[in-house]
């Protein structure tokens, strides 16, 4: 990898007190690095230090070999754009004028825009799907609209590096996905290196080339998303004592209801997850089976059930596994038919429903929960 953006032995903090020591990394052009970690871990402090808004307490930041801390403010603005969570205060300023502020590192001493600058403003507004907001007063916008305008300003600056602190804050799901996709395409197509923080861990893992986990006085972990997500690193990063986070699906599950199983859920094809979550909301301890280990329901069942009877994928349920599930079913007060389709491989689940009825165990459906 050809290093373009480098952080070397960086220490950050406030009032001369170091909060995080010895931060180091090296990124190629067009890479995306996302900082994640619990509240108060120092994500914003790192970004503000890299952006020269907070004084570094040691170390260097290099862009294309140039020491960022030695550059003039104007040269820094040409190399780096910054979007932080601080509120922008404006009065009677249009969105186009906000975006045009990104061109000031390239204007003359009077700040006059050339036709090329005006084209860049228009192109940036189009890129974030906000051209229709150009003449609107910035102060009248919703939080999500403001975020898009500020991103357009950062892009209009045509930087080598973009620093973004929680860029998906205030956005609904549609615009979160759109913004992350836009950042991914911008990094790839324009060769802009993106360094940002996010609270949406699932989006961070999907969008980033590298993840930096912050916890305590040093970097807790740094590497590609697949490395960071392996082996329960996310759970340890956030000290998850109750509930769970599934790195494969990005789903968060609340704590399971403990105690002897009251309901036995017969799952399959994702149908069981709905039932398991409905029972969890009511505090009902559950058992679940038979669930294939490649089924969507399997990971939800592991998180929410007191007992899970599973079977290897791509092969019929064995009689031994069926017997285990039957014993667990007969110990429960009720059974739940999730409505999953039954085929040759999971025919055992149809047998479990029959067994429940033969033994007088009430069988409920999703609508009964």
| Residue-wise pLDDT tens digits, 94-131 | 999 999 999 988 887 777 889 999 999 999 999 888 99
- Fold for domain 252-368? 3.40.1190
Alpha carbons within 13 A on the beta-carbon side of 217:
4
Task: DSSP for 77-138, please give it.
Answer: HHHEEEE-SSPPP-SS-BHHHHHHGGGGGGS-TT-PPPHHHHHHHHHHHHHTT-GGGTTSBG
User: Domain spans of the chain?
Assistant: 5-239, 252-368
Total count of residues recorded for the chain: 369
Cα(196)–Cα(162) distance, integer angstroms: 8
Cα(160)–Cα(154) distance, integer angstroms: 11
37, two tokens: 């970690």
CA distances (Å), origin 346, targets 157, 234, 316: 58, 33, 6
Nearest to 195 by CA among 224, 164, 174: 164
| pLDDT lower than 50: segments of the chain | none
Cα(37)–Cα(43) distance, integer angstroms: 7
Q: What's the pLDDT at 90?
A: 67
Strands 251-253 and 244-246, sheet pairing: antiparallel
CA distances (Å), origin 129, targets 126, 134, 178, 255, 361: 5, 11, 10, 40, 56
**Is the Cβ–Cβ distance between 369 and 279 less than 8 Å?**
yes
Judge if the upstream peptide bond of residue 72 is cis by omega within 30 degrees of 0: no
Please provide the average confidence, as pLDDT, over all residues in the chain: 92
Cα(63)–Cα(296) distance, integer angstroms: 44
Nearest to 118 by CA among 132, 97, 139, 92: 97
Determine how many CB atoms are found less than 10 A away from the CB of residue 139.
12
181, two tokens: 């996709």
47, two tokens: 């970004």
Task: DSSP for 331-344, please give it.
Answer: TSSEEEE------S
Q: Where are the alpha helices (DSSP H) in the chain?
A: 43-50, 73-79, 95-100, 115-127, 143-156, 173-190, 201-207, 225-228, 233-237, 271-281, 296-304, 319-330, 347-358
Domain 5-239 maps to which CATH number in 3.40.718.10, 3.40.50.300, 1.10.490.10, 3.30.390.50?
A: 3.40.50.300
Cα(260)–Cα(6) distance, integer angstroms: 54
Q: pLDDT tens digits, residue range 193-202?
A: 999 999 999 8
Q: pLDDT tens digits, residue range 140-162?
A: 998 888 888 999 999 999 999 99
């Amino acid at each position: 990898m050809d290093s373009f953006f480098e952080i070397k032995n960086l220490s950050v903090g406030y009032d001369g007190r170091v909060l995080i020591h010895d931060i180091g990394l090296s990124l190629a052009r067009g890479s995306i690095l996302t900082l994640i970690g619990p509240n108060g871990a120092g994500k914003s402090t790192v970004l503000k230090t890299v952006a020269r808004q907070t004084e570094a307490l040691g170390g260097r930041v290099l862009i294309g070999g140039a020491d960022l801390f030695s550059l003039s403010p104007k040269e820094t603005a040409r190399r780096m754009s910054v979007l932080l969570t601080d509120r922008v205060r404006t009065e009677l300023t249009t969105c186009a004028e906000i975006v045009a502020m990104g061109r000031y590192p390239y204007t003359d001493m009077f700040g006059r825009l050339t036709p090329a600058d005006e084209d860049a403003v228009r192109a940036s507004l189009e890129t974030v799907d906000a051209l229709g907001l150009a003449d609107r007063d910035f102060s009248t916008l919703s939080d999500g609209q403001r975020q898009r305008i500020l991103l357009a300003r950062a892009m209009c600056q045509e930087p080598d590096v973009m620093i973004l602190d929680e860029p998906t804050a205030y956005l609904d799901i549609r615009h979160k996905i759109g913004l992350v996709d836009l950042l991914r395409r911008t990094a790839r197509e324009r060769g802009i290196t993106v360094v940002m923080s996010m609270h949406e861990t699932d989006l961070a893992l999907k969008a980033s080339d590298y993840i930096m986990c912050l916890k305590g006085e040093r970097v807790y972990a740094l590497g590609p998303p697949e490395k960071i997500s392996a082996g329960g690193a996310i759970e340890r990063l956030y000290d998850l004592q109750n509930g769970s986070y599934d790195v494969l699906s990005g789903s968060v599950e609340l704590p399971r209801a403990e105690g002897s199983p009251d309901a036995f859920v017969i799952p399959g094809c994702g149908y069981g997850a709905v039932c398991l979550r409905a029972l969890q909301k009511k505090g009902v301890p559950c058992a679940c089976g038979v669930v294939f280990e490649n089924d969507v329901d399997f990971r939800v069942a592991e998180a929410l059930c007191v007992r899970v009877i599973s079977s290897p994928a791509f092969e019929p349920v064995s009689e031994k596994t069926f017997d285990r599930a039957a014993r667990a079913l007969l110990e429960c007060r009720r059974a739940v038919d999730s409505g999953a389709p039954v085929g040759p491989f999971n025919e055992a689940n149809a047998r479990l429903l029959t067994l429940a009825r033969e033994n007088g165990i009430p069988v409920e459906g999703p609508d009964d929960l």
